[in-house]
Amino acid sequence: MKLLKTGLSIAVLGLALTACEPIKTNQGYRLDPEQLAQIEAGVTNKDTVQAIMGSPSSIATFQTEGDAWYYISSKTEHLAFLAKEVTERDIVIVKFDINDVVAEVKDLSKEDGREIEIVERETPTGGRKLGLLEQLFGNLGRFNSAAQDN
């Protein structure tokens, strides 16, 4: 009987430990260093970049002297219902000049980023705050008699 309890305890413990395996997710563009090496500043044009690396994840909207394409990838993991944690992030920025030729290529990682502080302010709204009963029964007796006369 003691051997059965010990075996059952080990099985339950093993099952509990395997349930704690983190869930890993890969998202975005998968960076290939060989592809990135084919892109040369001042030589490669926009069409060639798209042929080598495919469509970008994002395109810069506000550029004054040419476009900038972003190829973004990230790896995250989380346990059950806990928040996701970014374990790895790669961002390749390809900047073009006015003639659509590559001007600069940057390869950034998670360490190059910085945390953004979220502002917790609220925008005040006008008017008065209504209670629950005022919201439910506030329109009782307010009928438009002008609409009934027509």
* Residue 80 and residue 105 in contact, taking contact as beta carbons nearer than 8 Å: no
Distance of CA 36 to the CA centre of its chain: 23
Nearest Cα to Cα of residue 111 among 90, 84, 83, 85: 90
Convert the pLDDT of each residue in 119-139 to its tens digit. 888 887 777 777 888 878 877
The residues, ordered by sequence, that sit 6+ positions from 78 with a Cβ below 8 Å of its Cβ are 22, 23, 84, 85
Give the model's confidence band at 147: pLDDT under 50 very low, under 70 low, under 90 confident, else very high: low
Q: Check residue 121 and report its DSSP letter.
A: -
Structural domains in the chain?
A: 21-113 (3.30.1450)
Nearest Cα to Cα of residue 90 among 28, 141, 136, 142: 28
Residue % of the chain over a pLDDT of 90: 22
Of residues 40 and 82, more confidence is placed in 40
Convert the pLDDT of each residue in 91-109 to its tens digit. 999 999 988 899 999 989 8
Give the model's confidence band at 32: pLDDT under 50 very low, under 70 low, under 90 confident, else very high: confident
